[in-house]
Structure 1
Amino acid sequence: MPAYKYTLKSGKVLWYANFYYTDWTGQKKHACKRGFKTQREAKEYERNFLDQQNTTSDILFSSLVENYLEDMRHRLKPTTMEQKEFIIKGKLLPYFGRQKICDIDTIKIRKWQNELISHRQENGKPFSQTYLKTVNNQMSAIMNYAVRHYRLAANPCHAAGSIGRSSAGSMKIWNQEEYEQFSKCIKKSAMRLAFDILFYTGMRCGELLALTEPDILPTKKISVNKNYAKVDGEELFLEPKTPKANRTISIPDFLYDDIINYISKLGGLCETDRIFYFTKSALDKEIKVGAKAAGLEPIRVHDLRHSHASMLVDMGFPPLEIAERLGHESVKTTLDTYSHLYPEKDSTIAGRLNEFRKK
C-alpha cells in the first residue's frame, strides 16, 4: 500500500494515493487521488476506499455506513437522508466508526444505549424517549443492512433490546378557542393565514409551504400534490410523503375567501411560485412568539395537525374520514396516533349493548 509524493510549482510537497481495485461488477479499475498533506493521510484514504469494496462482516462500520448511505440516497427523499446523516454522524460514528461490524456485539450495543440514556444536554435535560427510539432504530437498520448484504450472522441490536418509546405520551394540542386566541396575536397576515390553513385542514407543514395558486381549487378545496423542503440551502419540491398524502381537502368558506383575498394581493405571482415565501423555521419561531403573547402553553407547528384531528374527533367524525383528510396511509395510523382521544367510546358501546339486552 505505497503512497507517492509530488512537488507543486510553489515548492510545497504533497502526497497522492494510486492503486487498482475490483469493483462490484468484477472489473479491475484504477483510482488516484491527490492533495494529501502527509503520506499517512494518502495511505488511510486507500485503506478506507478498499474497505468500502469489502462485502464481508470484516468491513469497518464507517465504511459500511458510507455504502449504506450511498445505497439509500437512491431510495429515500433528501429530507429523510438529511435526518439519517445527522443521527449517524453525531450518535453512531463516534462510538462504532473504527470497529469492524463483526466485532460489534450485544454488550457494546448495551453500553452505547446506556450512554445515550444517561447523556445530558446543555440544558441539563436527557434525550427524549422518542429521540432515543429513533437513534436506536437507525443503528438497528444499519446492522440489518449488514446482515442482508455483508454476511453478518445476526443483528446484535435485536438481542440488546430497544430503548425509548415510539410516542411521546401526552399529545400537546390547542382546542379551537385556544387557537383563535393565538391567531389574534399573530401580526403578519401571511403567517396568520398559514397557521389558519394548518389548523383548519390538518395539512403537514411541508404540504402547506409547497402550495401554489393552482392548488386552490374553485370548488373550495385544496389540492395537496407536492411537498416543500429545504436541504443544504436548496429548495426542493418533492412527492407527497405517501401515496395517500396526494389528496384534496375541503375547506370552510371563510378560509377559502381568506386565501383568495390573500392571493389577489400578491402581484406578479407565477403558477409555479409558492404562495407562502417563508420556511418552516420561520413558522417555528412565530408559533413560540404567538403562544407566549396569547398566554398559552407552546406547541409545535406539527401539533396544529394533531389539534385539527382532535377537533374532528370531538365533532364525531369516524377514523376513516379523518385518515383520508389527514392523508394517512391507513386508518390504523390514525387509530394508533389518536386512540387516546376516544377514551369514552368503549363505554358508549357498552351502554348501547345494555339497551339492546333490555329489549
Structure 2
Amino acid sequence: MNQKFVFALVFVCLAHIHQSFAQKSQIQLAQNSVGKLQASIANKEEVKKQLTIIGEGIKAVEAAQNDKKTKNWPETWSIKAYLSSYVALIDENEANSDKYYGLATEALEKAKELDKYQANSTLIKAAHYNIIIKKQAEGNKAYQQNDFMTAFGLLKQVSDYLPTDTAIAVNVALCAQNIQSYDEALTYFKRAKDNGIKNPVVFQQMANIYASKFESEMAIKILEDGLKLNPYHPFLTNDYINLLLDNEKYTQAAKIIEGSIATEKRNKLLLFLYGYLQQSHLNNSTGAETTYKKALEVDQNYFDALYQLALVYVNNANSSLKDKNKQKFNSYVNRAEFTLLRAHEINPNDKNTIQLLIEIYTRKDRLDKVQELKRKLNEF
C-alpha cells in the first residue's frame, strides 16, 4: 500500500473522530448549562448570573444546531427550547424576552417532532410549561389593554394546559364575554365551577348567559348551585328572585324571600319585593300592606314602597266601593291620599303619583286640587 495513501486515510479518520467529538462536546456543554441553571434556580441566584449560564448553553446548542449531524438530534432542540423559554420568562428586556419566546416556541415544535422515543420528555415538558407561563403574562397584558381577542387566544391555551386553575378559566370566560363568544364563555365558566370555584360572580355571569339564550331553567339551576355555596348572598339572591318572578314561579320566589328576610330583617329591597309579590301575584293585600310598612320602618322615605302601599289602599278602596261599604271606602281613600302626598313630597316629578292624586281628589270633589295638579302635569 502506498505510504502517503495510508497517512491520508489515517488523517481523515482522525479528523472525523475529532469532528464527532466536537459535535458531542457542544451538546455536552449545553447539557452542563442546563444542570448549572437548575442548580442556580434552586439556590435562588440572581437573574444576571442565570442569564450568563443560559448564554453559554445557547451558544453551544446553536453550534450543535448548525452542525449537519447534531442538527437533527432531539437533544439539540429540547435543550434550546428549555433554555430559550427560561430567558423569555426572566429577561426584563421585553424585546429580548419576546425574541426568545419565539425561538423557544419554534424549538419546542421541532423537539416534539424529533423526540420519537420521548427520551427528552422532561426538558420538553419544562419548556412547554415556561412557554405557557409566558403566554399567560402576555394574555394578561393584552386583557389590561382591552385587547380581548388576543387575550382570549392566549389565555385559552393556558387554561387548556392548566385546566384545574379556576382563576385562569374565569379570565378566559371574561375575555370570551367581551368578544361576545358566549358559548366559549360558558365552557370556561363551567370549567371553573366544576373545579370548585365559589365566587358568586361566576354563577351570576353563567345565569345571565343562560337567561339571554332563553334557557331559563338552566339559569335558575346555576343560581341555585351558587346559593348552595354562598347562602343568602344578596346579589345571587336578588338575581334568583327576579328570575323566578320573570318565569312566574311566584310561590317559590315567596319562599326564597321569606328565608332571606329572616336573616336580613332590615333589607328594604327584599321587603319591597316580598310586598310586591304578595300584592301583584298572590292576591294578598293585607300581607303586602304589612310588608311595605316594614320596608318604610327601615327607610321612611322609600318612594317605591310608599307608592305601592298607596296602590294597595286604592285597590282596597275600589273593592269597598263594589261592596258598597262607604265607611271603608273613605278610610282607604284617606290612607291612599296621605301616603301619596308623602311620596309626592319625596319625588315631586313622578307623573304616576300625581295622576293617582288627581283621581283621589276627583272622587273627593276637590276640584281646586285637581286643577293644581293638572297644571303641574302640563309643565312636564
Shorter-chain TM-score range: under 0.3
TM-score by length of 1: 0.27
Give the helix-richer structure, 1 or 2: 2
Task: Identify the structure with the greater strand proportion.
Answer: 1
